[in-house]
Chain A
Amino acid sequence: QQQVKQSPQSLIVQKGGISIINCAYENTAFDYFPWYQQFPGKGPALLIAIRPDVSEKKEGRFTISFNKSAKQFSLHIMDSQPGDSATYFCAASRGGATNKLIFGTGTLLAVQP
């Protein structure tokens, strides 16, 4: 049972373009939605996260858009760079006492120079 669905599985974007990765969740009790970035041979690292009290969060070229009614959230990478080439995972958790993350299946992003 997959509680967080992520798409697309892979994405190719030209340098300078916008990369968009989408996730949908089922459990309305989720209250923390992070995105993790993973480079080959490394562990995932937190990129940006949002809580449902806001609809958008921006950090540099990275933006999370959150739609609570649709139970969807997305990562936008503006002015994509070859150094952004990595695997991106969305996740969700109830936070609080448990902080158990449920991960999406990942998106392999390739930014072509």
Chain B
Amino acid sequence: DADVTQTPRNRITKTGKRIMLECSQTKGHDRMYWYRQDPGLGLRLIYYSFDVKDINKGEISDGYSVSRQAQAKFSLSLESAIPNQTALYFCATSAPTGGNDEQYFGPGTRLTVT
């Protein structure tokens, strides 16, 4: 089974709708991240969380919110989706730094806002 899972894998929604993307991990990592990927722009950090009570904004948090329901679950919400939020969204996890800064990515959610 995959260590980092994302649901749904694909989603088409309409402008103004609320949508939630979910991420679960079995790696036992404390740190979780949400990124968005756009062609020609690479991956950009939306939010990150270092434990259940810690939530931090990334470089492009406007229009998004997150919830860390448990160590293993981190959800990303779009309260009122707009077309320029059409992108590929990735969740990632990492262990507390102890020399290993590797981030482990999920398979992604392709979101289309019409």
Contact = CB atoms under 8 A, between A and B. Distances in A.
Interface of A: 6, 9, 32, 34, 36, 41-46, 49, 89, 93, 95-97, 99-101, 103-106
B112 to A, nearest CB: 16
A78 B52 CA distance: 43
B41 interface: yes
Interface of B: 4, 31, 40-45, 48, 58, 90, 92, 94, 97, 101-108
Interface of A: prevailing SS: loop
B107 A95 contact: no
B90 A106 contact: no
Given A43-B4, A43-B90, A95-B97, A101 B41 contact: no
A89 B42 contact: yes
B42 A104 contact: yes
B97 A97 contact: yes
Contact of A103 (B43, B101, B107): B43
Contacts of B90: 43-44
Given A44-B105, A45-B105, A46-B103, A101 B31 contact: no
A41 B107 CA distance: 7
Given A44-B90, A46-B103, A96 B97 contact: yes
A93 B101 CA distance: 9
Contact of A89 (B43, B48, B97, B104): B43
B101 A95 contact: yes
11 contacts: A9-B40, A41-B108, A42-B107, A44-B105, A45-B104, A95-B101, A99-B31, A99-B94, A101-B43, A103-B42, A105-B42
Nearest to A1: B59
A103 B103 CA distance: 12
B43 A44 contact: yes
Nearest to B48: A100
A99 B107 CA distance: 21
